[in-house]
Structure 1
Amino acid sequence: MKWLGQVVIVAGSWLFYLLCRHVFEGSGRIAHEHAEDVWSFERTLRLPSEARLQDWVLGSDTAVRGINAIYQHVHFPVMLVTLVALYVRRREVYRWFRDVLLLTTGLALVGHIAYPLAPPRLEPGLGMVDTGLEFGQSTYAGEPGTGFTNQLAAMPSMHVAWAALVAVAVIVCLRTRWRWLAPSYAALILFVVVVTGNHYWLDGIVGLVLLAFSLVVLRGRLEPAQRPADASRLRAR
């Protein structure tokens, strides 16, 4: 029944994360002010316009519906499948993966609380639309400030950070050259969260920075776990 303990740890941590985001939801006024600051800073950095990218995709209803579906249905299932697969097949990697996941998400929670940020879809002045709402595929039941979901927690993007962590796990666990295609999954998720108007480029970038920090802090949890396998290969020779 050891697996039940892991379910409690992961599910309990996720519920705690959601509860804190809800309880400490920031001011709408401040979140909108931060949105203006982020948008302006991105233009200073000469990052591509999220609005122009969305305009390009809006030319195809099929493409937008597909992107909305990815935003709705891919994020959590992929993470769940990865956790289960690692627990069943690569227990030593699972422990490292779980710890990196919890640390990254915990750091993100600090960001959500300290820097409330309205996503582009809630900022009409930026020229973007809520593609989920427009096509009847929205994952949000009501207006910001209602319900349990904190819609003003755009910074950083956990969609992007989690997708990148899954990609890292694939690279660590597999030996085929095809594993180097895994980062394309993270790139796809970054594209999806931007096109749907749920995040700015900077949200994804900050999410990746937090993930990188967690990987560095917890790198020692992975290296010892890999040594037995390496040693067995050497003995086999």
Structure 2
Amino acid sequence: MNARTEPAEAETEPDAPARPPLVRELLLVAGLFLVYKFGRQLATGHTAEAFGNARHVWHLERWLHLPGEGAVQSLLLHGDVLVHVANTYYATVHFPATAGFLVWLYLRRPVHYVWSRRVLAAVTGAALVLHLAFPLAPPRMLGATGLVDTARVYGPSVYGPPRTDSLSNQFAAMPSLHFGWALMVAIGLIAATRSRWRWLWLLHPLLTLLVIVGTANHYWLDVLVASALLGLALALIRVPRRARATAPPPGPPRWAREPRPAERRRLVGAGR
């Protein structure tokens, strides 16, 4: 009797993680988002400091011989349709893609969900500290860059005039959470899935990189700092091992098991 019940018990996966309570997770994610939005608002009003830091970042990039952001923007400005698509991508993909990523992990890969949520929270918290300590005007506001504010000129735009925009802090360019979150979405999906096509998820941070730089919303250094913060978070928060389906343990070899009744009758009939 025990031999018959053991395989059925082995089909369950004892190491499978329990899915976190949904209400608790919704409250936690909403709380983190509200803290982040409130923290960004604390950084508003440092206009002179933000523009001074922007000039320092721009000159530092030239000293480091980083490629000019204008080279990427010139590709977008070849046609109104392309630049409009880039502005739309910037305005509409960031939050829905990250939310969809977390929802899918919560439903299908709970252990990877917990890991990804912790990494995103760590990166976002570190970014908030930098936003408070180092307010930075984006390149679209800095006349020395010669860049076009594509969202304002071609639309759509998610920002209003900085003095009257009460929903966002436009002086929080460094680090770029647009890129940091997009890169974590790709890394999380690559880690949580096994398809040979999963590496195509890297197209999301690549497109995000081209969009945020081409629309003059971020500097190259914003992207590098976001990547460094994400790398540090990934080094400190261990990636979970893939959940492996547990196969039933192999039974005894045929020669070692007791013959079944039908086999016993056949053997007796054969004169054994």
Q: TM-score, normalised by structure 2?
A: 0.81
| Structure having the larger proportion of residues in helix | 1
Question: CA RMSD of the aligned region, Å?
Answer: 1.8
Structure 1 partner of 2:159 = 140
C-alpha displacement at 1:182, in angstroms? Answer: 1.6
C-alpha displacement at 1:144, in angstroms? Answer: 4.2
Q: Deviations over 1:121-168 (max 9, x none)?
A: 111221001111001311012224641310000000000000000001
1:144/1:152 contact within 8 Å kept: no
Structure 2 partner of 1:176 = 195
Amino acid at match of 1:168: I
* Residue of structure 2 aligned with 1:36, choices 47, 55, 80: 55
- In the aligned structure 1, how far is the partner of 2:43 from the partner of 2:92? 26
C-alpha displacement at 1:90, in angstroms? Answer: 0.7
% of aligned pairs identical?
42
- In the aligned structure 1, how far is the partner of 2:201 from the partner of 2:167? 33
Structure 2 partner of 1:218 = 237
2:42/2:132 contact within 8 Å kept: no
- In the aligned structure 2, how far is the partner of 1:72 from the partner of 1:109? 20
Structure whose CA Rg is larger: 2
Structure 2 partner of 1:81 = 100
Structure 2 partner of 1:128 = 147
C-alpha displacement at 1:233, in angstroms? Answer: 6.1
| Count of residues in correspondence between the two structures | 231
Unaligned runs of 5+ residues in structure 2 are: 1-19, 251-272
Structure 1 stretches of 4+ moved >6 Å: none
Cα gap change, 1:102/1:234 in structure 2, threshold over 3 Å: closer, same or farther?
farther
- In the aligned structure 2, how far is the partner of 1:136 from the partner of 1:81? 25
- In the aligned structure 1, how far is the partner of 2:237 from the partner of 2:30? 21
* Residue of structure 1 aligned with 2:66, choices 47, 50, 72: 47
C-alpha displacement at 1:231, in angstroms? Answer: 7.1
Cα gap change, 1:40/1:235 in structure 2, threshold over 3 Å: closer, same or farther?
farther
- In the aligned structure 2, how far is the partner of 1:81 from the partner of 1:98? 12
1:26/1:116 contact within 8 Å kept: no
Unaligned runs of 5+ residues in structure 1 are: none
